[in-house]
Amino acid sequence: MGPMKRVLLGMLTPSSNTALEPITSAMVAGLPEVSAHFARFRVTEISLRSQALGQFDIAPILEAARLLADARVDVIAWNGTSSGWLGFETDEALCARITEETGIPACTSVLAFNEAMQLSGRKRFGLATPYLADVQERIVANYRANGYDCVAERHLGHHVNFEFAEVTPEEITRMVREVAKASPQCISTFCTNLRAAHLVPALEAELGIPIYDTVSTAVWKALRLCGVDTRRVVGWGSLFGEWH
């Protein structure tokens, strides 16, 4: 038997994000044939101000996707949560455009989180983010309009994207424990610049509730699209073992 065919995961990354690249690479480190490759586009602020919303216009994202296509990646994932407040249809449209322009399958953190809830029949979720109150309200309303019930939420009131990665493990753990008190069917640490994914196994063991981190969901779905058995990703929580 010859060497395993390489699997190249392309990830679209907010320019100010310092969490998702090391976490993604650590997640796939145990899969010798898999590597992750990143392209940035400018995102520095998360708010509902027009210039912040304009950061997610499709043109610069598609330009970043075309650069990933040069590396002949097997999948292109938007590793970001913008459709949480912009509307899920923005991610659906982005995936369609990426595939149309590059011929490469595409996925996103948020659509993957939604798929994980669909596959497991979970509709009542808890939400932990670093975001502003109005951004959080928009996310909750968006989910409600799509048939998902956010039963508890915590947010930290930050808007500078770089600062999200400075949130401490203690703050993340506190938020997750607080939303767990409402007995949601699952909890999301919802922000790809939150260094939360490595905390998931211990928190799942403590709380008995599945936790779907948005960096994890992007990796999970990207691997599924490439035909990689996600059970091989060990030590990052129940998401990777539930469906394969």
- 219 plus 104 within the same structural domain: yes
Q: Looking at the 3D structure of the chain, how many domains does it have?
A: 2
Per-residue pLDDT of the chain (244 residues; tens, 9 = 90+): 556 899 999 999 999 999 999 999 999 999 999 999 999 999 888 888 988 888 888 999 999 999 999 999 999 999 999 999 999 999 999 999 999 999 999 999 999 999 999 999 999 999 999 999 999 999 999 999 999 999 999 999 999 999 999 999 999 999 999 999 999 999 999 999 999 999 999 999 999 999 999 999 999 999 999 999 999 999 999 999 976 5
Tell me the residue range of the domain where 188 lies. Answer: 119-213
One domain for residues 97 and 14: yes
CA neighbor of 154 nearest in space, from 189, 183, 122: 189
Same domain for 137 and 184: yes
DSSP code of residue 227: T
CATH code of the domain containing 63 = 3.40.50.12500
Q: Is residue 200 within 8 Å of 211, Cβ to Cβ?
A: yes
Give the C-alpha separation, 166 to 212, whole Å: 20
Examine the domain organization and report whether 235 and 186 are in the same domain: no
Q: Is 161 inside any structural domain? A: yes
Residues 6+ positions from 96 with CB-CB distance below 8 Å? 106
Answer for the pair 120, 186: CB distance below 8 angstroms, yes or no: yes
